[in-house]
Structure 1
């Protein structure tokens, strides 16, 4: 009987955890899509009803999203959806470039195993395969996922848990992530071109790490992040409609 009760408790906890994870993803999606604009005060009771969970996990979810930088805690308790300026988005991308540059330099200077280098080269080959024969033909969905894997592996190969943790923290804001500007944008000539430039930089990064060229690897990684900054500038100033399709950009205030 005791074993059965323990099993029931574990099942109940697992179910609760699953519901909380689902609610977290749902609320994050609503915020990033603009359903809750920047400055919106979130109240536990109506939010619990919307997400169909109790108030306790709602508080946990909002605390988690505050850690991710999507919500701000109010002095008197509660949470409000965070607003970002264009400068905030630029700074977030620049910070990622600095951190990834440091990771690339450490990987080059400390040396990467043959297994690690082969993993990078395998990802390069898979990324190359995403490009079609025509200049504008790109499997963007596949490229986006592989690009995220490439960046995560490069940071991992630095051998620094501190750098790895800080990179993960800096990329929690979706418009600062390596794949922020990779969804549904091949119709824009400037973005199509940027993908080819980015892939050339990937190749150069791997070569620099393999060659133990720390300064070059760092410079390449920092320059690589500036592609996202140029894409952000284009979306904000040249084609504002694109901001609706880049996760989180709807939170930018004028």
Structure 2
């Protein structure tokens, strides 16, 4: 299947997570495009996107380098996003959602249910889920009517994995990863219920937890500066 722009970004992000592209690795458009079987254009765009996410550093002249990212840096960025999006959800609930926002959020929930109806997501469905997820989060922030939240999130999104669109998953275990996305999408349903019923504190709490449910991280016991990714099933089963 021809990789889309989102596929290219997701693939490179996952390669960095799994240290297939280790910290310090230099990346250039042509060899990367050949490795992924795509043209240079989506790779060029992906490099810029991953630089914005804080995963790549632009080198003088041409090319990029994979940044060294600590567990503490990621956890801190994800927790800040949770606080900001939690505040947005609370203020959206207190303000009351507009009919337009209610309608679009419900449509996104229905779309997510449709995408997750099967036993295992494929790449095309993952891309649809990612787009749905990003728009859901964007509406929650819009509904807060608080420009300071958006400004703070924009700054925070330059840190690794601090953006709601920076999803990661294990392609080798897609059945289990699908269940993780199902869990996250149920949280979408719950925060929507809280917002439309004016339950500000509940909406805030769910949204803060939702940030942590998207990506889970632990320290590698061999090196506390190394990054290891675990799915939410491992974080919550104890």
- Normalised TM-score (structure 2): 0.63
2:208 to 218, 222, 238: 222
Report whether the alignment pairs 1:108 with 2:127: no
Structure number having the greater helix percentage: 1
In 1: Cα distance, 2:91 partner to 2:205 partner: 12
> Is the Cα–Cα contact under 8 Å of residues 140 and 184 in structure 1 kept in the other structure?
no
Secondary structure of 2:115's counterpart equals: coil
Unaligned runs of 5+ in 1: 1-25, 42-46, 48-63, 74-78, 244-254
Secondary structure of 1:97's counterpart equals: helix
Report whether the alignment pairs 1:150 with 2:136: yes
Secondary structure of 2:174's counterpart equals: coil
Cα gap change, 1:148/1:185 in structure 2, threshold over 3 Å: closer, same or farther? farther
Aligned to 2:104: 119
Report whether the alignment pairs 1:131 with 2:119: no
In 2: Cα distance, 1:159 partner to 1:131 partner: 31
> Is the Cα–Cα contact under 8 Å of residues 90 and 229 in structure 1 kept in the other structure?
no
- Normalised TM-score (structure 1): 0.60
> Is the Cα–Cα contact under 8 Å of residues 74 and 160 in structure 2 kept in the other structure?
no
Question: Which has the higher Rg, Structure 1 or Structure 2?
Answer: 1
- Size of the aligned set, in residue pairs, is 193
Q: CA RMSD in A?
A: 4.0
In 2: Cα distance, 1:164 partner to 1:185 partner: 35
Unaligned runs of 5+ in 2: 1-7, 29-48, 59-63, 230-238
Cα gap change, 1:80/1:36 in structure 2, threshold over 3 Å: closer, same or farther? same
In 2: Cα distance, 1:116 partner to 1:91 partner: 30
1:167 to 153, 160, 178: 153
Give the deviation of 1:228 after TM superposition. Answer: 2.7
Structure number having the greater strand percentage: 2
> Deviations for 1:55-99, whole angstroms, at most 9, x for unmatched residues?
xxxxxxxxx9987645789xxxxx986422111111111111111
Give the deviation of 1:183 after TM superposition. Answer: 7.2
Query: Following superposition of structure 1 onto structure 2, how do residues 14-163 of structure 1 map, counting pairs within 5 Å?
Result: 38=23, 69=54, 82-132=67-117, 134=118, 136-138=119-121, 139-163=125-149
Give the deviation of 1:104 after TM superposition. Answer: 0.4
Aligned to 1:181: 168
Secondary structure of 1:83's counterpart equals: coil
In 1: Cα distance, 2:139 partner to 2:169 partner: 19
Aligned to 2:35: none
Give the deviation of 1:148 after TM superposition. Answer: 1.1
